[in-house]
Copies of this chain bind each other. A is one copy, B any other.
Amino acid sequence: MARTIPVLEIFGPTIQGEGMVIGQKTMFVRTAGCDYRCRWCDSAFTWDGSAKDEIEQLTADEIWRRLEAIGGRRFRHVTISGGNPLLIAALGELIALLHEKGMRVAVETQGSRWQDWLLDIDDVTLSPKPPSSGMDTDWAALDQIIERLQADQSRVRRISLKVVVFDDADLAYAKEVHCRYPSVPFYLQAGNADVADSDVDALRAKLFSRLEWLVEQAADSEELADVHILPQLHTLLWGNKRGV
């Protein structure tokens, strides 16, 4: 029998708002559950119980049918997001099916857990969490994930590291990550401290001032000579709304 996947949202086509895949037209499949509890998590409903009743247990096949029903033939890229998708072994079946259908597949994870299907992902974003999250980084786990991805040459994939930065301690952490893995393309992301704010204009002004600060910090840094600095595009566009 086909295994099921705990799904909270399926939506799109829309654009990727973050990191290496920013701007990419994509569908989103959001899975439930996370092994972290980041202070500023913008998807806390995936793990805090508040959306418990919305979780559906779906097979890979059922997820594909939903994607087709809402996205038609208007997409070639699917993003699996969470929560932490790496908690879910059964996603391997979905990824295989998506590839059969001609899709490219992106995943974002904090890099705390391994699944063999990670080797099959086209766009891997590893986003270890900085001090402001309240979480501790499991460096051994992250080392091993990056080693395994880099050792496997069986397919073309793009991998990147992304660190969200709210303050100076986060920036120091970002430098530590970048120096530890200098060969992995590195993205700094301006943090959104107002995940509950619903005034889009005020939110935009704040986000741009944080981004400007982050660009200045990176501009002045030799350690951060070769990085990308980006905002969360979807938050700038749509604020803290879900499902866009």
By a beta-carbon cutoff of 8 Å, the part of chain A in contact with chain B is 12-15, 22-25, 72-77, 187, 201, 204-205, 208, 211-212, 215, 218-222, 224-231, 233, 236-237
Contact = CB atoms under 8 A, between A and B. Distances in A.
Contacts of A224: 25, 74
Contacts of A219: 12-14, 25, 74
- This chain: copies in complex: 2
A233 B237 CA distance: 12
A211 to B, nearest CB: 6
A23 B204 contact: no
The interface residues of chain A, by DSSP majority, are classed as mixed
Contacts of A229: 15, 23, 25
B237 A208 contact: yes
The 6 closest A-B pairs by CB, nearest first: A23-B228, A76-B226, A23-B230, A13-B219, A73-B222, A76-B225
Contacts of A230: 22-23, 233
Given A215-B15, A220-B74, A24 B208 contact: no
A191 to B, nearest CB: 15
A157 to B, nearest CB: 15
A24 B56 CA distance: 39
A227 B74 contact: no
A146 B150 CA distance: 31
Given A15-B229, A215-B15, A237-B208, A222 B72 contact: yes
Contacts of A218: 13, 25
